[in-house]
Amino acid sequence: MGMGGISIWQLLIILAIVIMLFGTKRLRTLGSDLGSAVKGFRKTMQDDGAADAAAGKDQPEEPAASAEKDK
């Protein structure tokens, strides 16, 4: 038995139906577009992380209450 009660044969039938409906060219284009979107998202997340680190936001700020205790 496959994932969640779906057998490999059922997955193959679903795959065949999807290929017949959309065609291989459209699926290839869709996969390429999805890959580009994920790559852009990861790059943006890394850029934001680098910008936060440069601004010093990675280090947690001391709460005001603990700063007053030190005085």
Q: Supply the pLDDT for residue 68.
A: 56
Distances (CA, A) of 40 to 16, 31, 32, 49: 30, 14, 12, 14
Which domains, ranges and CATH numbers included, belong to the chain?
A: 1-46 (1.20.5)
- Residue 22, number of CB atoms within 10 A of its CB: 13
Q: Supply the pLDDT for residue 49.
A: 81
Q: Supply the pLDDT for residue 34.
A: 93
* CA–CA gap between residue 68 and residue 55 (Å, rounded): 25
What pTM was computed for the model? 0.48
Q: Supply the pLDDT for residue 1.
A: 46
pLDDT tens digits for range 16-69: 999 999 898 998 899 899 999 999 999 999 888 887 777 766 555 555 555 555
* CA–CA gap between residue 20 and residue 12 (Å, rounded): 12
